[in-house]
Structure 1
């Protein structure tokens, strides 16, 4: 019998200097702690950024917290940081279903496929057309403090961002087309540009300066910067157009993730592949220095039946089907959740030591993670209490 749905909790650990853990203070946490302010809400998704965080509720409400100096929270710009989650009032009239955080900006998609953006915009990352000045020249607004529509001509199904790049996957008839093309010769692109050559994209992922796209037939494509081999092409040459990752052509991929100069892919058998920058052990391959220009299977996770991997700036977390989390990479500021400052390329289980929910009827139940999200120096997760005998 499948587990009966129980109480849920949003977990956070790692650096809290900008309030990004949502604990009401700026302290770092070496262990997973529940975000008490979100307990009254049915949170279905969380996203961790460089210095801020967000949560999406079942009813479509969006909560944000952390660093707000560039308007990244979508809250009134008077506050520089906010250490407790607060609703984005400008989106109160819409039902948000998916969201992403970039370097200093955020993106969101509602249930009608409309996209919104806010925060830093100096590179055009919010998709706004440049404003015309009195002298006739055009310039971008530096900051957009409240959410506004972007890509109005597209019906968007997924957005992804990490640094100052982002992609949006649109749904048109039976095709899913990625936008947000990367050109190594361009300084900035302020409005969405079709990425040529990609059709039926199922998942997109954006790293520090590179992009990944997984098509419905399980083929992986990559483009962008490549100084650490994060494209998986076997070299360090940047690509301005998507290139197929041939090293993974023999496996069926179901998910991808991109972080700080490293990438991961997940197969339908629950196997994890990693490549790119290996410093601090973020690839999970057992060392803490070596970079790899082609995907390698993370043998230390073999047999764990992984269902999701999230990549942060310098660390990664893998989630198993039975709700356990394994983290690896840079460990200062508590970002690995082990309770001690350790940097390791050996994945280790993150303990979930939370009190039993008050309405639980079984003391033998347990907390199981359902989703994980790595940020720059912190990690978020959603856990569910599962009663024993169910």
Structure 2
């Protein structure tokens, strides 16, 4: 049985498709359509006209891995990071009022891609001249597509100097801060120099590279420094107002910023300590210590050997109060490679405590071999001795008593056995300061004489031809101090030691260095080792009234003038 179709109903659908809707009114100007910006995308405004994509990438990949990058015809950069944390770091660096971010020596502004100003700029760029080519082969294409990975082999930081073109069409944006000129500095103002290993940002130069000559740091935040502590590759600065700044390597949380970061190129406040007036700081290989005026001690960083003193082996990225000393008054803290010392003082006397790795006897808590201790224990052998100061570096520990004696314990200096309890060094001099390296030590007397102990590896102890060879035979138990030769009676006002280099300051403000020089830490313009003290030129005439103090990290050096 067949049924006749209703032709009018069947063809009505096709007829309706042929009906056309009226066209919209033509727009006077095309409105750009933009995809929502990724949460990890930033815009860099104010780039120099000669800036290339690789220049931009070299400057900004220190904050994290970059997935996409381009520069438009008006020298505006667009960067997409792989993570939002990396973008956060770039934004924070750009907003820093002290340093900001420079590309080819020109200050730039970094904005979120979702910022109204950045979105307006993107819209203008898309609405006209759509045929213009980016400086990248193809805009918004990952660099890996063009045969480049996420890392460049050359050191991060561009040394090209260029001036911005006066005819630039770049939208200029005002900045919170400005660069500091030499003319701005007063003669009585404090100055800070750094040199040596800098690939972790520890020099504070904002460039990840070694420096073979002293670099004057233009950083207002370092204008009131009372002390520095230099560790494996990070630095802690203590201001006269009791505030703490830190920079350099932070992969173990040793910077105390609350986040584990690969590095920080500029001084950043340790805000968790803002409620305390800090009086003493110390930096170890991967951990840090802080002491407040009310006698509390805080630690952060790598805790895998118990060197933070919290009763476990956990690491912390913010300073945590050591509960063992809550009811006691801590005067100083000293951080070594994987151990820490604390000096307690009260009306009844003082004690030294040790915690962390003790494999070489550096804790001084027992004649027996102790692998590690994660809770502070009293150092033996100081009964009836009043300690004025403590020091730690590598696997060594040291203390100076009020009556001028130097005590050392831990790993034996080259030619000497390990000491598991403090040993008093044989000398008639009245010492006031001791500085420890990995294989050597310096001690300074109140009269400005400097003595040394240890081996002759890389010349860290100057020319041993002028030192009695009988006191440097292997396996001696008694450690003896020898005066540094070649100083000809020059009075020394300060000393410092790195892993394997030494620094002294004369009464005339001259800085002399010797020892290991592979990273330029001697400040002499090359990477050669030196076996005798050589004068370092700061390239600046110091005020006669100013004093100079020096500080050493493992492979870098700082000098600070104290007006």
TM-score, normalised on structure 2? 0.60
Correspondence 1:80 to 2:262: yes
User: Does 1 or 2 have the higher relative contact order (CA < 8 Å, sep 6+)?
Assistant: 1
Would the aligned equivalents of 2:336 and 2:393 in 1 still touch at CA under 8 Å?
yes
Whether the 8 Å contact between 2:328 and 2:344 is mirrored in structure 1 is yes
Is it true that 1:14 corresponds to 2:196 in the alignment?
Answer: yes
Other-structure match for 1:122: 304
Tell me whether 1:333 sits opposite 2:519 in the alignment: yes
Matched-pair contact (CA < 8 Å) for 2:291–2:297 = yes
8 Å CA contact retained: 2:191, 2:223:
no
1:44-71 Cα shifts (integer Å, max 9, x gaps): 1111111111111111111101111100
Secondary structure class of the residue paired with 1:318 = strand
- 1:90 aligns with 272
Verify: 1:219 aligned to 2:405, yes or no: yes
1:158 is matched with 332
- The equivalent of 1:244 in structure 2 is 424
2:189–2:223 CA contact under 8 A, matched in 1: no
Which of residues 136, 148, 162 is equivalent to 2:320? 148
SS at match of 1:72: coil
Match of 1:54 among 210, 213, 236: 236
| Correspondence for 2:391 among 201, 205, 218 | 205
2:376 maps to which of 175, 182, 192? 192
Deviation at 1:321, TM superposition (A): 2.5
* C-alpha distance in 2 between matches for 1:277 and 1:77: 39
Question: Contact 2:201/2:207 (CA < 8 Å) preserved in 1?
Answer: yes
How big is the shift at 1:341?
2.0
CA contact (8 A) 1:352 1:367 kept: no
- 2:284, 2:393 within 8 Å by CA — same for their partners in 1? no
Q: CA RMSD in A?
A: 2.3
Structure 1 residue 367: Cα displacement: 8.9
CA distance in 1 between partners of 2:554 and 2:405 (Å): 28
**Partner residue of 2:343?**
169
Larger radius of gyration: 2
Cα deviations by residue, 1:168-224 (Å, 9 ceiling, x for unpaired): 111111522211133561111112111122131011111311211111111222211
1:158-177 deviation per Cα after TM superposition (whole angstroms, max 9, x unaligned): 11122112211111115222
Could you tell me how far apart the structure 2 residues matched to 1:330 and 1:318 are? Answer: 15
| Kept after mapping to 2: 8 A contact 1:369/1:381 | no
1:78, distance to aligned residue in structure 2 (A) = 4.7
Give the one of 273, 292, 298 matched to 1:110. Answer: 292
Shift of residue 5 of structure 1? 8.7
User: 1:227: Cα distance to partner?
Assistant: 5.2
Give the total of aligned pairs.
Answer: 355
Q: How big is the shift at 1:76?
A: 3.4
Q: Which structure has the highest strand share of the two?
A: 1
- Which one of the candidate residues 433, 437, 440 is aligned to 1:255? 433
Calculate the TM-score normalised by the size of structure 1.
0.85
- Aligned-pair CA distance for 1:104: 0.7
Looking at structure 2, the residues matched to 164 and 78 of structure 1 have their Cα atoms a distance apart, in angstroms, of 19
CA contact (8 A) 1:19 1:26 kept: yes
Kept in 1: contact 2:305–2:373 (CA 8 A) = yes
In structure 1, how many angstroms separate the alpha carbons of the residues matched to 2:559 and 2:237? 10
Q: Which residue of 2 aligns with 1:35?
A: 217
Report the 3-state secondary structure (helix = DSSP H, G, I; strand = E; otherwise coil) of the residue aligned with 1:197. Answer: coil
Higher fraction of helix: 2
1:44 equivalenced with 2:226 (yes/no):
yes
Partner of 1:133: none
